[in-house]
Structure 1
Amino acid sequence: NYDSIFRSPSVAPFAVHDQLCRNVGLLRIFPSMSLENVRACLQSPIEGIVLQTFGTGNMPSNRTDIIDELKKAVDRGCIIINCSQCVRGQVDVQYLTGKVLYDIGIIPGSDMTTEAALTKLSYVLSKDCWKLSEKKAMMIKNIRGELTVTKAEPLRDLEIVSQMARFLHLSTSHEMELLCHAIFPQLLGYAANSGDIEMLKALHENGVDLSAVDYNGRNALHVAASAGHISAVKYLLAQGVSFHLRDQWDESALVSAVKLKNKICIETLRSAGAVLSVNSLRLGVELCLCASCGDMEALNCWLAAGADINQQDYNGKTALHIAVKSRNKQLVYYLLDRGADPYKTDHFDLTPLRHAEKLHLQDLVIRMKNMKKV
């Protein structure tokens, strides 16, 4: 059921909103409940109530006293959400009592669970910058996958699928499903590798899961980042394709962008919240390798991706150790300007400063000694 998974359309780092409204409550409807209980639940300072009703959002139609009390609460600005007590199903305002509740301003909660509705209500009511009408509109909007939004049935009528099915003599729905799982990731990879946004959109509109992975465990975002197609990267991020996924080589899309030395792509992924998920020892080796080659562009990309400039390799050496031993003064100054530690000791108890002294690189020695010890 990949189509049912909610994927955030927001291209931004994850943020937590912890200032929730406490003036919310639950009101569970049952046949013999007293009006006094209802009044007590709806008293000020209550700002929101989750109403737990029967079946598809119904309550006893002869309890006009309770309905009147609910209307008074709605009129004074209290947001009331109608949720079913049933484990499955959703609120339907087509039934008489459900429509009566809807007509007095009670918001149908669709298939939200009581817990989800209460949490959402606490969040929405805490937004003082929103008007009451905006808060009510947000309660019927799918914010984080808490309610099911009815979608048009995916077309799944791509010509290539039907042609291949005929060629392979496939007939059952299960065989067709297996065929789709086999070819869709490859089509996504082709579109991402060529930066074909229109093809990506067409595949998505035909029900293809943009987060599908190929035989290497790579999704379309890996491929787009490896090819350096920024527009494709931005589109896939906007569709909720995960940048956390690692392929069979344990590499994320961010690492793919670093290897391509595409700083714009790196910054795009970082702004969306991507973090560098590389084994610390391996990262140290990568940085030292870049330093040994004098590859400042690659080092700059690793740092832009969030790498620690003082990360050590298997010998405890940092990129600065290697740069000093290579007598690459330009690279040494570059690393020092970006926070490299000249006092970092390796497994042989040697520091970059000590290497510079041994090699009689006096200008580097003076520069390093002027730096404070971390």
Structure 2
Amino acid sequence: MEPSHASDESRVLVIYTGGTIGMLVGQQGYVPEPYFLTETLRSQTRFHDPLQDSLFSNSGSVQGFREWSGRSSPGEVANITPEDPQGRTLLVRSSRPIGHTTALNPSLNASLLLNQPRCTKISENLYEAHLPTLVTPKSKIPGGNISKSIRYAILEWNPLLDSSNIDIEDWIRIATEIELNYTFDAFVILHGTDTLAYTSSALSFLLEDLGKTVILTGAQIPLSQLRNDAVDNLMGALTIAGHYIIPECCLYFNHTLFRGNRVTKMSSYDLSAFSSLNFPPLVNVGIDIVVNWNDVLRQTGLRKFRAHKHMNPHVATLRLFPGITGATIRAFCMPPIRGVVLETFGAGNAPQRADVMDALRGACDRGVVVVAITQCAKGSVSDAYETGRTLLQAGVVPGSDMTPECALAKLSYLLSKSELSIKEVRDLIGSPLRGELSRPSGVAVQQPSVEQNMDNIQQLLSQFVRLTRPPSVLPTINVTSETGQSTVSDAAAPWSWTAAEAATTEAVLYPFLVHLAAARDDLDGLQFCFNSVDTNDPAEVLKLGMIPGGIVNCLEAGSGRSPLHVAALNGNARSVELLLRCGALVHLRDSLGHTALYLAARQGHEEVVELLVQAGATLGGSDMHFAASLLADTARSQDQTAARIWHKAGWQAVTGNSEK
């Protein structure tokens, strides 16, 4: 059965491709075992707490547990049925058949075989099944106000793959499964560590206009071992995916969330196997979960999410070495090769022999895209040396500080787009598409003085007054850092404000102004807030960092609504569009579990619904239950306008009534 979506519950799809994390010890080392991972997680209350399941009114009681487990007495064996295994299921789609038609282990427990989902073939490359779910205990993230549980289903591949066998078709398969199941709130991909950085880099490009959290993780020691890193890695990935909207393809390992296209596997031995030397982590998990919101990517275009389903296989990596010959390079760059990642010395240097340069120039002239990166784990290519400039003159494109895995994936992705010319591909190589490379550093910005901060606060207060008072009675506002206590001697006088304290005051005022401007459909007020923030300014970055998701996504204390929620509720289409173009997250849910799309549809704001859907918004959270009730009222009253708006909001697509 398909459970209703509670407002304090996130839905996560776990795509289990294989890897060490779910292996058992066999006669020839670690081997994968069907269903082992799922059933092990089901047996651990940290990963599956039946008493949190809201399906049963007696949840939290002995009777509730027995109802959940299918027993009526303490000693009775659970009665598991294939129609509804473990009580709750979620609809999951895939481009391949779902389930293990044959078990690798013939002695697999009969109850596990009974739990196999009934897979239905919808079309040639579309299958679906209702998978049993697991649900974590409710937890409150540091700084959060709502305890939330995470309900997740595990889509297990058949066969499970060692990551050394993962190839381009598997990357496309993962991207396709995310697209087919995009109604889930977030996605966790379990994968072997050897090629994990390649997959995370490739998916960062294949998942175009991503608006939800995608996290890849694995383990150095499998879950089957007493001492392992699998528990922490999986729990950390689930927790972040279930509690935060970080619309990127990320990699989580050893208490750290990295941008997926910035990492490289640095160790086959340490538990801290991955590093991102040229870019800071997005999240650090310790006693607190610290999100570096300043560096999180946000979609700023009005485009729906889609999975790109092509990668050009004719790309390769060539590592320069002392004594390499032009003949070697020419042979390497022969057809069908269309792109080469050239790992150069140091900051982008190469041997200056004529045969080497002629071979590289000849390849570039034939239309082969050659991208230069550094062999060093940390750093970037540049033209600081003459030996680097000659590569550029030969037609080689600088790849900045991209990792080898990322450069290869990006080149394969761009060359798969037939609409791009070779020149356009070369131009895009040096442009950050998914935060995969660092922009050239500019001139250092001097930190503003306290007086400049005072001016900012004065302008902020003036905006408040403008929005709340008639123009004819606007007062003059003056803000100063002086204490005004002239009787206090200089020796005992209190300290003046610091720039950080002033920035803190601004951070408190900005959310109120953004919400007020969104409610009033005041574009000037919104533009003032967004234009006042300079991300190159240390104090402004501090201000942004105090607001999770940035000012554009700041939440009201009680309702949990973002400015986008407020603008959508009031039917302010102009503000909705501006907010979306400034990075508003369309999938945020308020404290009642509602999206901005639901609020706009409920109020009958058709133009706003169209804008949100164009930007990839979908109904989610508690929207389903309330929308069903509203649609029933609409049917009774024969309100064609309301029915049309709900149809545009995607109600039929969500409920499975539309033709796809």
TM-score when normalising by structure 1: 0.72
Q: CA RMSD in A?
A: 3.3
The number of equivalent residue pairs is: 312
Task: Give 3-state SS (helix, strand or coil) of 2:370's partner.
Answer: strand
Matched, 1:111 2:410: no
| 1:97 paired residue number | 387
Query: In structure 2, do the counterparts of structure 1 residues 165 and 136 end up closer, same or farther at CA, with 3 Å as the change threshold?
Result: farther
Q: Distance in 1 between matches of 2:567 and 2:525?
A: 13
CA distance in 2, matches of 1:122, 1:64: 29
CA distance in 2, matches of 1:151, 1:231: 34
Deviation, structure 1 residue 155? 9.2
Contact 2:326 2:357 in 1 (8 A): no
Could you tell me which residue of structure 1 aligns to residue 340 of structure 2?
49
Give secondary structure in 2 for the equivalent of 1:83.
strand
1:195 and 1:229 in contact (8 A); partners too = yes
1:161 and 2:487 matched: no
The equivalent position to 1:27 in structure 2, one of 318, 327, 345, is 318
How far residue 171 of structure 1 moved from its aligned partner, in angstroms, is: 3.0
CA contact (8 A) 2:344 2:375 kept: yes
Q: What residue number does 1:359 align with?
A: none
Partner AA of 1:73 in structure 2? A
Which of structures 1 and 2 has the bigger CA Rg? Answer: 1
Write out per-residue CA displacement over residues 236-294 of structure 1, whole angstroms, 9 at most, x where no aligned residue. 22233210111222121112212322011111111221101143434333434556777
Aligned to 1:58: 349
Q: Which residue of 2 aligns with 1:284?
A: 628
Q: Once the two structures are superposed, what CA deviation does each residue of 1:119-177 show, in whole Å capped at 9, x if it has no partner?
A: 22112212223222222122222223222335876998673437778389763454344
Aligned partners of 1:251 and 1:265: how far apart in 2?
15
CA contact (8 A) 1:5 1:145 kept: no
Is 1:204 matched with 2:539?
A: no
Q: Distance in 2 between matches of 1:89 and 1:204?
A: 32
State how far apart, in whole Å, the 1-side matches of 2:479 and 2:569 are.
29
Give distance in 1, aligned partners of 2:522 and 2:552: 16
Q: Distance in 2 between matches of 1:253 and 1:133?
A: 41
Q: Decide which structure has greater strand share.
A: 2
State the match for 1:222 in structure 2.
565
> One-letter code of the match for 1:254?
L
Q: 1:36 to 1:173 in 2, by over 3 A?
A: farther
Is 2:531 the partner of 1:235?
no
- Residues 1:3 and 1:278: Cα distance change in structure 2 (over 3 Å): closer
| 3-state SS of paired residue (1:49) | strand
Of 623, 642, 645, the residue aligned with 1:301 is 645
User: Which deviates more, 295-304 or 93-102?
Assistant: 295-304
Residue deviations 1:30-73, cap 9 Å, x none?
3344544433321222111111123322234x444323221111
Contact residue 93 and residue 108 of structure 1 kept, 8 A: no
Letter in 1 for 2:396: I
Structure 1 residues 55 and 246 mapped into 2: Cα distance closer, same or farther (>3 Å)? farther
| Structure 1 range deviating more: 260-269 or 9-18 | 9-18
SS of the counterpart of 1:249? coil
Q: In structure 1, what is the Cα distance between the partners aligned to 2:417 and 2:639?
A: 49
- The letter of the residue matching 1:118 is L
Say if 1:80 and 1:107, in contact at 8 Å, map to a contact too. yes
Indicate conservation of the 8 Å contact 2:553/2:584, yes or no: no
For 1:10, give the aligned amino acid: G
Does the Cα contact within 8 Å between 1:8 and 1:144 map onto a contact in 2?
Answer: no
Equivalent of residue 171 in structure 1, options 475, 488, 497? 497
Distance 1:85 1:10 in 2: 35
Matches of 1:229 and 1:150, distance apart in 2: 38
Aligned pairs for 1:134-153 within 5 A: 134-150=424-440
Structure 1 pair 29–255 and aligned structure 2 pair: CA distance change class (3 A): same
User: Could you say if the C-alpha distance between residues 282 and 231 of structure 1 is closer, same or farther in structure 2, counting changes exceeding 3 Å?
Assistant: closer
Amino acid at match of 2:481: R
Point out where structure 2 has 5 or more consecutive residues left out of the alignment: 1-291, 459-477, 484-494, 534-543, 545-549
One-letter amino acid of the structure 2 residue matched with residue 264 of structure 1: E
Amino acid corresponding to residue 562 of structure 2 in structure 1: N
Distance 2:569 2:298 in 1: 23
CA distance in 2, matches of 1:164, 1:150: 37
- Cα shift at 1:81: 0.9
Cα 1:205–1:92 shift into 2, 3 Å: farther
Write 1 or 2 for the structure with the bigger share of helix. 1
Moved more, 231-240 or 287-296: 287-296
3-state DSSP class of the match of 2:598?
A: helix
Moved more, 284-293 or 136-145: 284-293
User: 2:552·2:582 contact (CA, 8 Å) conserved in 1?
Assistant: no
With over 3 angstroms needed to count, the CA separation of the structure-2 counterparts of 1:218 and 1:58, relative to structure 1, is farther
Alignment of 1:188 onto 2:514: yes
Q: Which residue of 1 aligns with 2:11?
A: none
Q: What is the SS of the residue equivalent to 1:166?
A: coil
Q: 1:257 to 1:80 in 2, by over 3 A?
A: same
Given that 1:92 and 1:110 are in contact with CA atoms closer than 8 Å, whether structure 2 keeps it comes out as: yes
In 1, distance between residues paired with 2:356 and 2:440? 32
Distance change in 2, residues 1:137/1:265 (3 Å): same
Partner Cα separation in structure 1 for residue 638 and residue 457 of structure 2: 49
Stretches of structure 1 that go unaligned for 5 or more consecutive residues are: 312-337, 340-374
Does the 8 Å CA contact 2:569/2:600 hold for their aligned counterparts?
Answer: yes
